Amino acid sequence: MNTPVIRRVLGTYEIVAGAGGILTVALLLPMLLRKVDAPYRVATISLFLSMACVFSVVLIAGLLLLRKHRWGVLCSMLVQAAQIPLWALGSSRWVFFAGAYLALLWQPDTPAILVGLKSNLEVNWQRPQDATFIGINLIPIVALYFLRRLTLVRDSAPIFQESARPADEIQEAVLDSQ
């Protein structure tokens, strides 16, 4: 797969995943606010705004990648890397999907495989969890492989193009024009 195709596919994928996460937050917030007691509404809104910010970062990473911005590959790599680990251990939980996922989970009872397409962020550091698992999401690992290929191609290109005219000729041209 050549680099323009990789850039286009991954950039579009991140834009769609980020937009899906923002849309999910926008649709769920009003429904949840009707069910939450008044004292907890500010906290609920804050939580959902922070989730929308996370998915905005995913969307922006895709835009930067598509526009060939110098931070595009790095931002996309960070977004993808954040989706690799999955865990629910004791009182902490981290599950972040932005787009497709193929996750391998190790649970006390049995291993599990999760496959799907969604934008989801679950973070918890308060109460002990009912479920305990650790896992990895394989889709971001594949995306990181292709993003790394983009950096290798970019790094192999010369930083400075050779001038058609050496510095002495440029200096002579300036002197002649005066």
The angle formed by the CA atoms of residues 69, 12 and 156, to the nearest 5 degrees, is: 40
Taking phi first (over 0 means left), then psi (-120 to 50 degrees means alpha), and beta for anything else, what does residue 92 get?
beta
CA distance 57 to 117: 18
Contact 2, 36 (CB under 8 A): no
Enumerate the domain spans of the chain: 3-155
| Element (DSSP H or E) covering residue 119 | strand 111-124
Would the pLDDT of 19 be above 80? yes
Would the pLDDT of 128 be above 70? no
Q: Could you report the per-residue pLDDT of 79-96, keeping only the tens digit for each?
A: 999 999 999 887 788 999
Q: What is the mean pLDDT of residues 155-165?
A: 45
